[in-house]
């Protein structure tokens, strides 16, 4: 596995208050969190943040103060040797309007990625996650947005790794399903990366509806079961992927399911490049999936991840 890591949440918080007040509605994670996970053997930090805060007006300059917060975190985190996966945590929307709509044309999304690429293209430890969990849109519309962003990134001269999600919250289990429109398995074959340095990013939770809202996992084998078809699709189509979000509660069934799931990634490392757990960060409190330590005490799920961090 090239990548083993965690989403350090906080900068995307307060979505009901945009732009909101830093320190009140949202916060960037601390370097101490990065250092803790680096010490555990993780080498990737996924950083969720809100597009609207960084770029208050579409196709206009970034907010200097917000860009400084983002850039400072990236510089400090990558100085530890970690790779930072930038994650505009917007669900393919800007102030609630879909990318590809009249309000948020594909050109605006491409502009955002042009500006972000220019900021970080010279740091090889920065990876670009195009968008968190596109949903409730035509899959074809998302493909057009993704291809516009990829073209913009490469035109800007950035050779950085890019992770590309699918539609329908980019669920691995639903990649070939059609309840949300044309399946990702069909449409996302049309992805074009002129830089040939991309991974598909899928998310997969283990509760009954794959939503990640329950601490209960369906069975000890559910993780492998929900990944198998997507793994086969990757191999058939010559692609690789990152499991960008996954988690389970603190109970024996989830521990077994997570262990088998991570084992599946390792045994299929020809098509799986790594994983990032959801989540950690300073403001989670008692959140059931948080692996942010309580002082010096590890959270229970760290013992499940530990064998895969050697």
What helix, strand, coil percent values describe the chain, rounded to 5? Answer: 35, 20, 45
**Residue among 12, 52, 245, 292 flagged as catalytic:** 245
At 285, list the tokens: 């409190």
The CA distance from 29 to 82, in Å, is 14
The CA distance from 51 to 133, in Å, is 14
Distances (CA, A) of 54 to 110, 112, 258: 15, 9, 35
**Residue among 133, 201, 225, 292 flagged as catalytic:** 133
Q: Is there a contact between 251 and 217 (Cβ–Cβ < 8 Å)?
A: yes
Nearest to 205 by CA among 221, 217, 219, 191: 217
The CA distance from 63 to 53, in Å, is 7
The CA distance from 161 to 121, in Å, is 10
Q: Is 52 a catalytic site residue? A: no
Q: Is 225 a catalytic site residue? A: no
The CA distance from 108 to 114, in Å, is 10
The CA distance from 132 to 118, in Å, is 21
278 half-sphere exposure, CB direction, 13 A CA radius: 18
The CA distance from 171 to 182, in Å, is 14
Residues belonging to the active site: 133, 245
């Amino acid at each position: 596995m090239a990548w083993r890591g965690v989403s350090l949440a906080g900068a995307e918080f307060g979505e009901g208050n945009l732009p909101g007040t830093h320190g009140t509605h949202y916060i960037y994670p601390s370097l101490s969190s990065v250092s803790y996970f680096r010490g555990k053997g993780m080498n990737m930090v996924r950083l969720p943040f809100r597009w609207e805060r960084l770029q208050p007006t579409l196709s206009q300059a970034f907010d200097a103060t917000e860009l400084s917060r983002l850039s400072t975190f990236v510089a400090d985190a990558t100085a530890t040797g970690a790779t930072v996966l930038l994650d505009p945590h917007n669900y393919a929307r800007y102030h609630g309007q879909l990318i590809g709509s009249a309000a948020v044309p594909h050109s605006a999304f491409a502009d955002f990625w042009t500006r972000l690429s220019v900021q970080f293209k010279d740091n090889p430890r920065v990876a670009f996650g195009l968008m968190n969990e596109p949903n409730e849109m035509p899959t074809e519309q998302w493909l057009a947005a993704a291809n516009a962003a990829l073209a913009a990134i490469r035109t800007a001269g950035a050779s950085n790794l890019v992770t590309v999600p699918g539609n329908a919250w980019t669920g691995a289990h639903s990649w070939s399903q059609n309840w949300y429109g044309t399946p990702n398995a069909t449409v996302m074959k049309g992805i074009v990366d002129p830089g040939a340095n991309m991974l598909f990013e899928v998310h997969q939770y283990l509760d009954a509806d794959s939503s990640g809202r329950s601490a209960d996992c369906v069975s000890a084998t559910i993780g492998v079961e929900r990944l198998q078809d997507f793994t086969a699709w990757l191999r058939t189509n010559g692609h690789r992927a990152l499991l960008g979000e996954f988690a389970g509660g603190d109970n024996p069934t989830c521990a077994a399911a997570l262990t088998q799931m991570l084992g599946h990634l390792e045994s299929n490392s020809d098509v799986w490049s790594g994983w990032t757990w959801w989540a950690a960060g300073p403001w989670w409190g008692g959140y059931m999936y948080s692996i942010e330590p309580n002082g010096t005490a590890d959270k229970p799920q760290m013992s499940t991840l530990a064998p895969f961090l050697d």
